[in-house]
């Protein structure tokens, strides 16, 4: 029978490293989801505000562009996230002013 001294230490080190990787992935996913939800909210708010004639919606977490074409306002919000860059878009019809 071979000497198994230190095998428990190696198994514990590998197990802890796997747990750290899984936890990091979960936190990164949660932060990415929060960023995407912020982008969706900002795009919707900016499109709706522009559609009713209110300008000046601010979005501090990324970039926000608003375009009006053919009676429809389209807002696009872009956010940097740990897993990449996320983009959300919202469209509203222009209301009578």
Kindly report, residue by residue over 24-75, the tens digit of the pLDDT. 999 999 999 999 999 999 999 999 999 998 877 888 888 999 999 999 999 9
Whether pTM exceeds 0.85: no
Name the residue with tokens 């375009």.
67
Length of the chain: 97
Q: Can you give the pLDDT at residue 38?
A: 92
Q: Given a cut of 70, is residue 89 above it in pLDDT?
A: yes
Q: Can you give the pLDDT at residue 1?
A: 53
Cα→Cα distances 50→42, 69, 89, Å: 12, 12, 14
> Comparing 17 with 54, which gets the higher pLDDT?
17
Query: What CA–CA distance (Å, rounded) separates 44 from 78?
Result: 13
CB neighbours (10 Å) of residue 79?
A: 23
Q: Can you give the pLDDT at residue 95?
A: 86
């Amino acid at each position: 029978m071979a000497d198994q001294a230190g095998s428990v230490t190696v198994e514990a080190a590998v197990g802890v490293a796997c747990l750290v990787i899984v936890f990091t992935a979960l936190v990164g996913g949660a932060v990415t989801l929060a960023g995407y939800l912020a982008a969706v909210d900002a795009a919707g708010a900016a499109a709706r505000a522009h559609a009713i004639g209110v300008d000046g919606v601010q979005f501090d977490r990324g970039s926000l562009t608003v375009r009006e074409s053919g009676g429809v306002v389209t807002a696009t919000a872009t956010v940097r996230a740990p897993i990449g860059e996320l983009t959300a878009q919202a469209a509203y019809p222009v209301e009578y002013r």
